[in-house]
Chains A and B, each alone.
Chain A
Amino acid sequence: MAVITREDIIKPENLVYKRTSLLVDCALSYCPGCGHGTAHRMLMEVIEEMGIQSKTIGVAPVGCSVLAYEFLDIDVQQAAHGRAPALATAIKRLMPEKYVFTYQGDGDLAAIGTCETIHACNRGENFVIIFINNGIYGMTGGQMAPTTLPGMKASTCPYGRDTEIMGNPLKITELVATLPGTCYVTRQSVHTPGNVRKTKRALRKAFEYSYAKKGLSFVEIVSNCNSGWKMTPVQSNKWMEENMFPFFPLGDIKVPAAE
């Protein structure tokens, strides 16, 4: 049997996976090992597979992913801090034929933008909210966020979050699932290959449901913040599995009723 060399395998006809061309060919501004990069790629792969590049409008938040418009090769509008769902509401109402999504972190969506988020969900606007939950304010230096776990250390709670003084973490995904306006609410993660593929399927379903005017789709992605948590990327993924997942269990929380 002939020996197959590396050069024989690396040919265009044998290609099985490459970075999607819908992500702009530049280095992402995220820290090494950050889940944002994977989430961006899955989002753009879904848009590529559905063939909706020219029909999609994204709304970028304030936070680590503030530069999303630099990386996503689609139309993206930058919103004021926390106001992405309000802006997406306007875009979707003016252009109902477009696929509209917001991409927000936990500080943007669950702290300053709680009002916009809850009311957009309650009105049942037909767009997708992608919520990256890493339990910390990553961009500003690791301060405590609404989703910081009890006992978890952050720069503004260096001895761990004390729920007596600082309150309890906010499970905003469970909260919006109780509202009648949402059609699809799910929590996923992007730290293992299996979870990344599940996230991609969830994103695709979310776009399809919201485009079919079923209501608002809410996809939470539990992500790591290795810089904010002061860990290596691999350690932070393990920590996330051990500590974040018991509090934020993965899986579908609300799915549309079968037709």
Chain B
Amino acid sequence: MAKVKGAIVINIERCKGCEVCVDVCPESVIAMNKNVNTKGYHYAMVTNEDCTGCTNCAVVCPDGVITVYRVKVPTEVV
């Protein structure tokens, strides 16, 4: 069975800090940064490596700031 690993890229300047993506992430990958972007919003950031590339965050983001990448990682059969 292959494991799936994902990664997200957040367009920090377009993020409005609504936190909807934080709520829908099943792996709790996303959190809000303490710092703000040039508009003054706390922007979303990636906090760990658990992303599976499910695209939930990107689909609900009202501003479409999240881009999702995903790869299949073959695990060795024991």
Interface of A with B (CB < 8 Å)?
1, 4, 6, 8-11, 14-20, 23, 27-28, 30-38, 41, 190-193, 196-197, 226, 232-234, 237
Contacts and interface: CB of A to CB of B under 8 A. Distances in A.
Contacts of B73: 1, 4
Contacts of B71: 4, 8-9, 14
A28 B65 CA distance: 11
Contacts of A10: 7, 9, 69
B41 to A, nearest CB: 7
A34 B60 contact: no
A27 B70 CA distance: 26
Which range holds the interface residue count of chain B?
35 or more
A192 B70 contact: no
A113 B59 CA distance: 31
Interface of B: 5-7, 9, 14, 16-20, 22-24, 41, 49, 53, 55-56, 58-71, 73, 75-76
Given A19-B65, A28-B62, A33 B6 contact: no
B63 A232 contact: no
B67 A9 contact: no
A16 B14 contact: no
Query: Helix, strand, loop or mixed for chain B's interface?
Result: mixed
Contacts of B58: 17-18
Contacts of A36: 62
B20 A234 contact: yes
A211 B41 CA distance: 42
B62 A38 contact: yes
A173 B45 CA distance: 39
Given A6-B7, A37-B62, A192 B24 contact: yes
A233 B15 CA distance: 14
A191 B60 contact: yes
A175 B20 CA distance: 32
A36 B18 CA distance: 13
A145 to B, nearest CB: 20
Contacts of B23: 234, 237
B48 to A, nearest CB: 11
Contact of B67 (A15, A33, A233, A234): A15
A41 B64 contact: yes
A37 B69 contact: no
A160 to B, nearest CB: 26
A225 to B, nearest CB: 12
Given A32-B16, A234-B19, A193 B56 contact: yes
Given A17-B66, A193-B56, A234-B23, 9 more contacts: A4-B73, A11-B69, A17-B59, A37-B61, A37-B63, A38-B59, A192-B24, A233-B18, A234-B18
A233 B76 contact: no
A7 B66 CA distance: 16
B62 A34 contact: yes
Given A9-B70, A14-B70, A33 B7 contact: no
A9 B20 contact: no
